[in-house]
Chain A
Amino acid sequence: MNANLFIPTLFAVVFAPLILGIINRTKAFFGGRHGQPFLQLYYDLFKLLRKGATYSKTTTYIFRLGPMVGLVCVLLATTLVPFGGIRSFLCFPGDILLFAYILGLMRFFTVLAALDTGSSFEGMGAAREVHFSALAEVAFFLGLIVLAKATSSASFSDMYSSSFPYIWIANSTQMLLVGVAFFLVLLTENARIPVDDPNTHLELTMIHEVMVLDHSGPDFAFILYGSALKLWVLGTIFTQTIFPFRSGSIYLDLLFSFLAMIVLGVIVGIVESTMARLRLLRVPQLLVAAAALSTVALVLSMR
């Protein structure tokens, strides 16, 4: 077996928490603060892994299973997405569907674990999560259709293959539109501003954070790490759609893709620093807009 196949997963596993550090540093820069270290999330994860855990009397095994299933799902998702021109560990026609549905499984278990606590805050977050992600899924699939149409393939590794830059140039408008749609999906799925504020402390207004209020210790570490990985995989899809660059050399491509991920972190940080959180009622509108962008791209490529 080719050892290269593990590189995309390896990059994700190692560097995913770094992106969150970059986002936080960007936000700190805009806020005029020095900010936390880039590696803060790594420290947090190690700290949490060494802690004990507290469980609610109400909870059952679903609550304990939720974080583990979530992390495993997103780990599996990292094996489906290529990185820096290197094909993913699992690639077959239709792996885009497995990708979308494995994230669905993650969501399903996160929501069930939230409902398992019997807290109304967590019920609230869960209801919002399923509502928004149902719309986000449509926008994501629309984008995938555009990519599938342009590249005549149904696998991430074939889409972002070595010929992708040529396809990109011929369809640059569509690709940019899809990129923006993917970016909105990324913000929604990862609970970033303007959809959700990861730093807020008011349970009533939160989505993702409120669903994981009751988790502690290693479980919470799994959740944090899982969401960092989720940001990474969705981010790789976004960056590869927006910045198609191939030099022919694996190392250069990897370096470039890695830089692109850092740029993504900076962009998310800038968005978070300059925008306010949307009212919850307006979030569906944002997602419908993302779907509309993908549709425009689709209409252009179907023309």
Chain B
Amino acid sequence: MGFLARLAFKNLFRHKLRTFVSIIAIAFSVMVVVFARGYVVGLIDNLTLEHIQYDSGHIKLITHEYRDEQRLLPLNYPVDGLGGGGLDEMITALENVEGVAMVVPRLKFGAMVSTEDELVTMGGWGVDPELETAFTGIEDYLVEGRMPQPGRLEVLMGTALLEKINRRVGEKVTIVFNTAFNSLRGVTFNIVGRTKSGIKLLDEVVFYLPLDQAQRLLEMDGQVTELLLVTPDKKLVLQVLPRVQALLAEYGEDGRYLALSYKETSDLIFFMDIAKLIYNQIYIFLVLLACIVVVNTMLMIVKERTREIGMMSALGLESKDIMRLFLTEGAIMGVTGSLIGAVCGSLINGYFAKNGIDFSAATSGFSSEVIFNSIVYPLSSPGNTIFAFFLGVVIVTIACVIPARRAARLEPTEAMRV
């Protein structure tokens, strides 16, 4: 009945302050849900993306032995081809697997630089600059200079690492490392670029050099330590992984090589997925907290309007109509509060999604092994805003069933006696 809906709307103006407080309580909780969900989803998405880009790809192909010792960056368990074929043929075979969009080779090794005071340990990543740029967008973090070029003794370093070794872009640096044959070697490189990413690993530990130079200097021609397989979407990994494993089995290399999805190479992502589910329950709890205010207000309203409910019942209004009247009042507060909260939360998220939230100070103690960008960019998406809006409306309306039922169950004679 439209008339009851209009009455419900007008009723909200009886005690404007009380209605306002209820709406603000809902708005605040929905705003917090929008922001918290945007923050958590943004954090998990960033974390997953960075893990994929700087550690695992969507599928990581390594040897079994390398997996056990990868923290030590060993060079004696390389990826070097399938069934006696070379690395290039292996990459071509992998690129031909349905769902594989790109194969990114990396040759990782331990290295060090001597400064006047100390020996600085580092990790060298021999990469194909073109593929690396296409896959990770490392150029976005480039604050000075350029990527190293194949065929040249050039390196790209993080800002913090450059500070540690007291060098600048344009200067030279002599890097000492062990070759695959375990002989110590020192090579002087030109520093051609500087990055600043917020990711501790990239900023403080890693330096990039061209893959061909890394292979030559480490005496690992046609070899890399890992191949990262990239799919058009991370959701496709579960479909593509069995095809890659089938390819390895086809060449009889499944005993040597290991193909791992990005989730298998990070415990953190597994826990984050669980956290996502837990947070979804926390959001419901947050809105329920606001519902306490609304339900309390509605119960007060029912008490105040007991005689009026009796009168409406006497006029012939059925219990279900009275219930509908109070539910409509609650729903209007729910919709208004949720709308305000969703819009405010969305604006806040939009601002932080653009500018990020800097946790550098808090994450300074993190190990560089944790690939975590200290600047968190919350997710600002219509889906998140709509989710919070509907969560607010639905929970508030359901919560209003309690006072509405109380109103509907009042016997007219009892109600009129008040």
Q: Do A and B bind each other?
A: no
